[in-house]
Amino acid sequence: MKLAYYPGCALHGSSNDYEQSLRACLGKLEVEPQEIKEWICCGATAAHALNHKLSIALPARNLALAEQQGFEEMLAPCPMCSMQLRKAAKLMDEDASLRREISSVIEAEVTGRVQVLNLIQVLQRIGPERIKPAVKNPLADLKPACYYGCLLTRPPAIVQFDDPEQPSSMETIVKVLGAKPVDWNFRTECCGAGMTMAKEETVLELSQRILADAQRHGANCVVTACPMCHVNLDMKQHDIEQHAGAHFGLPVYYLTDLVGLALGISREELGIDRHFVT
Amino acid sequence: MRALQLGNFEKAMSADAIWACVSCQTCSTRCPQSVDCAGVMDILREGALGRGLASPAQRSVVVFQQAFLNNIRRNGRLDEIELIAEFKLRALPSERSLPFLFKDAGLAPKLQKRKKLHLRGEKVNDRAVVRRIFERCGDGQHE
């Protein structure tokens, strides 16, 4: 599988534990994503909130770079990046004049050849038939609350992934690992995402509802595939507990942490020792 | 949405709600009439900013998003510490408090211990092309 890798800013910033986990886990499964040279930020919420054209141009530049570098598939492990990349590709697919305009803005052609995949889609491609026989340490004690957050499944017309109300792709994977995912209500609720700095109280309130519901349904950890969800639920968990006047103590794992642990990779190699809640 | 249906665009663009929105896309996904509410929020924010109508009460969100774009314009990729510094310094006049300025400083050693702190962020080599993309999109330096 020749796979381009678009890390996005978070995975090269304070969520570098996600990149460590992902590389260790995919490496064990013999998938080596190759980083796109000269990739730039997708613009995230700031671009789509303040400048529509920029929110298409920035991701489009990355799609063009991936094409130039000979890729047909691209892993974007951050759901925000992944959604923005797919949105730009879709808008340009539907409107030839927009494609010409954006190509001239970004000084590169985008033909639309590159398909953007999120992390779960890459694990699905590898397939349970390859993952299951490689499981050395079944995660029998784990009862994870599989947390999708907003942008893995929304907006459905853009991401075209799983069910936006009742997703099940993460549960399918963790069951292969021997874990027992809990049934709970807040799987696709928002954690407050990028408001961590600008409006902290929003994050504390939304996140406490998520952790409280996970706890109420008997989860002993949360699993996510999003760097922002991880920052809010892990790094901010102490503040969330103070805000809620409750104790959660729920470790928050990246999906690749759980796959990696089951495949026999150590916590240190996966970067789990760098999380806040352990 | 009601203000827009009634043609009261200024009221919608001056609303606090458009800056409280976290863009989680739930409303667009669930709307029985297939209205892209989250997309409308984006258009209102861009319009509010261009017309100077952004709610002063939501200044911290506006300033954060602007500081984010300034950062990408300069570096091509996000420099987290530089973003936080610009956000805090520009948001300060409205927040008017030293606790606000230093509130997150306590996180630095904890992030450092976990090798999550990058004193200097990454920059792409071809930053000139990033600036030209911003200019062609009509996005200047946000003051």
Share of chain A above pLDDT 90, in %: 96
pLDDT higher than 80, residue A135:
yes
Instruction: Verify that A203 and A256 share a domain, yes or no.
Output: yes
* Residue-level pLDDT at B41: 97
CATH number at residue A10: 1.20.1050.140
Query: Domain for residue A129, yes or no?
Result: no
Query: Are B25 and A154 an interchain contact pair (Cβ–Cβ within 8 Å)?
Result: yes
B129 to chain A: closest CA residue: A106
Supply the pTM of this predicted model.
0.96
* Residue-level pLDDT at B96: 63
Around Cβ A7, how many Cβ atoms within 10 Å? Answer: 25
Task: Work out the average pLDDT over A146-160.
Answer: 97
Total of domains in chain A: 2
Instruction: Verify that A163 and A107 share a domain, yes or no.
Output: no
Closest-CA distance, B6 to chain A, in angstroms, reads: 23
- Which of A14, A38, A90, A166 would best serve as a mutation to test chain B binding (most B beta carbons within 10 A)? A14
Q: Peptide bond preceding A155: is omega within 30 degrees of 0, i.e. cis?
A: yes
User: What's the token pair of residue A125?
Assistant: 């491609």
Query: Are B104 and A57 an interchain contact pair (Cβ–Cβ within 8 Å)?
Result: no
pLDDT higher than 80, residue A233:
yes
Instruction: Verify that A156 and A70 share a domain, yes or no.
Output: no
The interface pTM score, or ipTM, of the predicted complex is 0.94
| Partner residue opposite B49 with nearest CB, options A44, A50, A61 | A50
B64 to chain A: closest CA residue: A198
Query: Are A197 and B84 an interchain contact pair (Cβ–Cβ within 8 Å)?
Result: yes
> Among residues A90, A119, A148, which one ends one of the domains?
A119
Whether A124 and chain B come into contact, CB under 8 Å, resolves to no
CATH number at residue A217: 3.40.50.11810
**Burial of residue A96, with CB atoms counted within 10 A of its CB: 0-12 exposed, 13-18 middle, 19 or more buried:** exposed
**Per-residue pLDDT tens over the stretch A168-196:** 999 999 999 999 999 999 999 999 988 98
Query: Domain for residue A213, yes or no?
Result: yes
Query: Are A48 and B23 an interchain contact pair (Cβ–Cβ within 8 Å)?
Result: yes
Interface of A with B in 94-123 (CB under 8 A): 104-107
Query: Are B66 and A46 an interchain contact pair (Cβ–Cβ within 8 Å)?
Result: yes
d(CA B47, CA A235): 34
pLDDT higher than 90, residue A236:
yes
> Which stretches in chain B have pLDDT values below 50?
none
Instruction: Verify that A155 and A263 share a domain, yes or no.
Output: yes
d(CA A270, CA A17): 7
A49 to chain B: closest CA residue: B42
Contact pairs from chain A to chain B, CB under 8 Å: 150
| Partner residue opposite B137 with nearest CB, options A13, A45, A53 | A53
pLDDT higher than 70, residue A68:
yes
Instruction: Verify that A101 and A19 share a domain, yes or no.
Output: yes
> Taking a C-beta distance cutoff of 8 angstroms, is the pair B134, B73 a contact?
yes
Instruction: Verify that A54 and A105 share a domain, yes or no.
Output: yes
Enclosing domain of residue A166 = 136-274
Query: Domain for residue A128, yes or no?
Result: no
Query: Domain for residue A63, yes or no?
Result: yes
Query: Domain for residue A146, yes or no?
Result: yes
Instruction: Verify that A154 and A105 share a domain, yes or no.
Output: no
> Among residues A119, A151, A182, which one ends one of the domains?
A119
| Secondary structure letter of residue B94 according to DSSP | H
| Secondary structure letter of residue B76 according to DSSP | S
